[in-house]
Amino acid sequence: MNEMKLIACRECEFLQWETLLPQGGTAKCRRCDAALYKNSPATFDRALAFTLAAAILFVVANCFPVFGLWVNGTLVEATLFGAASHLYVNGMWPIAGLVLVTTLLMPSLNIAVVIYLLLPLHLGHIPRRPESGLRLLRHVAPWGMIEVLVLAMLVALVKLQHFATVVPGIATWAFGAVMVLLAAAAAEFNPREIWARIESARGNGVMPHAIKTITTGTTAARAGLFACHDCGMLGSPLPADVRTRKCPRCSASLHLRKSASLTRTWAFLFAAMVLYIPAVLLPVMVTSTLFGVQADTILSGVVYLWNAGSWTLAVIVFIASIVVPMLKILSLAFLAWSTQLNSPLIPCGRTRIYRIVEFIGRWSMLDIYVITILVAFVQFGSIATIDAGPGALAFGAVVVLTMFATLSFDPRLIWDAVEPGGE
C-alpha cells in the first residue's frame, strides 16, 4: 500500500489516517484502543502452509478414535462424529447438531475458505469472488471451537479414568495439532493485505478525492461516510437510501448501525437469563450403575474433579461453565442498559468489556463437549451408562443465545453518546 488511507475503527467508527508500522507491528485506535490493522509480510506462504497442514490433520482427527477404553479386556473406541451420532440417536439432536456445527462444519469451512483465498494468491492469481470468501470467513470464525474441544478432551480423560483404563487416541493428538496450526495460520493471515492485493489487481484501490479532503477526529457517520462492517471499506458520502445500499467492495448490506441492535440483544439476553436457571439446577448427566442412578449438575461435576485431585481442571471447568456464562449475561445486560440510556460514562471501559465478552464466549461450550465424549464412551449395559440430562439442552441454548446477543450488539452505539448531539 503506497498511499496513506483514511480508516474507520470497527468498534467506535473514529476516523484516522493509517500510519507506517514496523515489521509485525499493530496499529490501535486512538480513541478506543481497538486493533485496527497489522503490518505483516506481504506473503501468504506461511498461512497457507499452516492451513494445508491443519486440513490434513483435521481429516485424520475425524477418521480416528478420540480415546480407547479397556473394559474387561475389550477396547471401546469412538470418533467425534460417532459421539455426536450417539447423542442424536438418544434424542439429544440439538446437542448433537451443536457439536457437529462447532467442531466439524465451521472449522471445515474456515480451512476451506482460507485455502481457497490463499492458494491462487500463492500461484500469482486472484481467486474468483474473493469478497464472498472473506465475508464468509468473518462470520464463520466465531463458531469454530477446536481449542475448546481439546480442553474438553483433557477433562473427559480425567473423568473416564473412573470407569476404565483410558488410552488417548490418534484423534486427540491430531486435534491438538490442528488447534496449534490454526492459531499459527490466523496469526499470519491478514485480510487487509488480501484486499490491498485484490484492489491493486482490479485497479480500484485509489481513494476518492471526496474522502481525501475529510479530516480526522470525528466518526464516519458524522462525516457522512459509510464504513462497511464486513470488509472495513470507507466509502463516499451516504445517499438518502443507505438502508438498501450494498458495499461496492464486498457486497455486504451497508448500515450506519446494526439494525435493531439493542432490541435483538435484549431478546437473546432475556432468553439466556431464563434458561440459565435450569442449566445450572437440572442435571447435565445421568449416570446409571449397579449401585443406582446419579444425576450430576455442572457444579457437582466441578466437585468431582476437585475431589479426584484435578484441581486445575476443576477451576477451569468452574470458570468456563459457571462464571463465564454468568459474567457474559451480566456484562451484556450492563452494556445494553447503559447504551439504551445513552450514557456517556466510561466508553473505553465499556468497549473493553464488550471485547472481553466477545473473546470468552466460546469457552462456555466446554461442558457440552465433555458430556458428548462421556455419553459416547460410557455405555456398558447394566454395569454403567451415562446419558445427557435436560440441563445439557438448557446450557447449550444459553451458550448459543449469549453468543447471538454478543454478535447482535453494536459497540459503535456506546460512542454515539459521547458525540456532540449524538449521532
How confident is the model over 17-53, as pLDDT tens digits? 888 888 778 888 888 888 888 876 656 788 999 999 9
Whole-angstrom Cα distance, residue 98 to residue 84? 9
Whole-angstrom Cα distance, residue 412 to residue 107? 29
Q: Residue 72: left if φ>0, alpha if ψ -120 to 50, beta else—which one?
A: left
More confidently predicted of 202 and 239: 202
22: Cα separation from own chain's centroid: 29
More confidently predicted of 423 and 82: 82
CB 284 within 8 A of CB 296: yes
pLDDT above 60 for 421: no
CB 326 within 8 A of CB 280: no
More confidently predicted of 228 and 150: 150
Sign of CA dihedral 184, 230, 106, 284: positive
pLDDT at 243: 52
pLDDT above 60 for 82: yes
pLDDT at 2: 44
112 forms beta bridges with none
- Alpha helices in 361-411, H assignment, sequence order: 366-377, 390-408
CB 9 within 8 A of CB 29: yes
List C-alpha distances in Å: 283 to 166, 286, 399.
25, 7, 17
Spatial CB neighbours of 77, under 8 Å, sequence gap ≥ 6:
65, 67, 68, 69, 169
Spatial CB neighbours of 66, under 8 Å, sequence gap ≥ 6:
78, 79, 80, 83, 153, 169, 171, 172, 175, 373
Sheet holding 74-78, edge to edge: 74-78, 67-71, 165-168
Of all residues in the chain, what percent carry a pLDDT higher than 70?
87
How confident is the model over 264-320, as pLDDT tens digits? 999 999 999 999 999 988 888 877 665 666 777 888 878 877 887 778 878 888 888
How confident is the model over 215-273, as pLDDT tens digits? 556 778 787 777 887 777 777 665 555 555 777 777 777 777 888 899 999 999 999 99
Task: Give the pLDDT band of residue 423 (cuts 50, 70, 90).
Answer: very low
CB 120 within 8 A of CB 335: no
Mean pLDDT, residues 326-346 taken together: 93
Sign of CA dihedral 107, 379, 72, 295: positive
DSSP state of 24: T
pLDDT above 50 for 1: no
* Residue position matching grid coordinates 446477543: 405
pLDDT at 204: 62
Report helix, strand and coil shares of the chain as percent, to nearest 5: 55, 15, 30
CB 95 within 8 A of CB 375: no
Q: Is 26 helix (H, G, I), strand (E, B) or coil?
A: strand
pLDDT above 80 for 209: no
